[in-house]
């Protein structure tokens, strides 16, 4: 019963000590099928090593739903435990479709957990290669994992965010489409950078408190279970 919650707590605990550095070198990534992006198993979470350093290609900030995540060039299991991955990092934000995917693990303050709360008209900020871009959400929809049209580059300045429609194994994906509005002015950029840090601090604090609560409830349930077993055995 506690397995899903313990897995969330383990992800939070193991990813708290990672270091993230920004890199300006962007390498083309291999094609990742949408069906390959599934919630991580317990073995993958346990295999995650603490105190790692990750090279990030940028960041994504969505103030309305309090999402602030590093963006990585390509997709690996470890990267998706701490941020989102760019499927085509070589694409240019000025005139192409930027596609990012991330996990939805059932906890709002973790990764893309709040993405399903986004609405048409909300603002998405993207930072990549030392440039800031502002998008306005134009569409949200659920698709089958085999529908790859969402990944296509139509030579339009847009962003596509993809996550699972639920925190278990699923064949559907929740897709957010946004159109490029402009490159934010310097004052807006500074405000977003402040919001980014505030969102991360707030989410980290909530996640740490969640870990403590889960551990306490687990130990309490374990103690009660042992007590009942001992009582029955007598």
Backbone angles phi, psi at 125, to 5 degrees: -110, 135
CB-CB neighbours of 140 under 10 Å: 18
Give yes or no: 103 in active site.
yes
Estimate to the nearest angstrom the gap between the alpha carbon of 41 and the chain centroid: 16
Reported as type and span, the H/E element at residue 193 is helix 186-233
Q: How far apart are the first and last CA of the chain?
A: 26
CB-CB neighbours of 231 under 10 Å: 8
Distances (CA, A) of 1 to 12, 167, 217: 19, 15, 12
Give yes or no: 211 in active site.
no
Helices 3-15 + 186-233 axis angle, to 10:
130
Burial class (CB in 10 A: 0-12, 13-18, 19+), 43: exposed
**Which residue numbers are catalytic?**
103, 164
């Amino acid at each position: 019963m506690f397995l899903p919650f313990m897995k969330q707590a383990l992800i939070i605990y193991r990813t708290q000590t990672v270091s993230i550095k920004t890199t300006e070198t962007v390498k083309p990534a291999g094609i990742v099928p949408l069906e390959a992006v599934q919630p991580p198993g317990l073995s993958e979470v346990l295999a995650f090593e603490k105190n790692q350093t990750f090279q990030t290609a940028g960041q994504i900030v969505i103030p309305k739903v309090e999402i602030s995540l590093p963006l990585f060039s390509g997709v690996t299991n470890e990267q998706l435990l701490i941020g989102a991955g760019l499927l085509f990092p070589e694409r240019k934000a000025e005139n192409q479709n930027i596609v990012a995917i991330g996990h939805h693990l059932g906890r709002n303050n973790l990764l893309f957990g709040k993405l399903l709360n986004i609405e048409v008209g909300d603002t998405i900020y993207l930072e990549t290669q030392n440039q800031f871009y502002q998008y306005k959400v134009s569409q949200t929809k659920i698709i089958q994992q085999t529908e790859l049209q969402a990944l296509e580059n139509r030579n339009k300045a847009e962003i596509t965010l993809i996550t699972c429609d639920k925190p278990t194994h699923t064949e559907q994906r929740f897709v957010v489409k946004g159109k490029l509005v402009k490159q934010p002015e310097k004052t807006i950029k500074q405000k977003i950078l402040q919001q980014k840090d505030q969102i991360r601090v707030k989410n980290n604090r909530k996640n740490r408190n969640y870990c403590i609560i889960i551990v306490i409830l687990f130990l309490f349930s374990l103690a009660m279970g042992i007590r009942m077993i001992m009582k029955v055995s007598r």
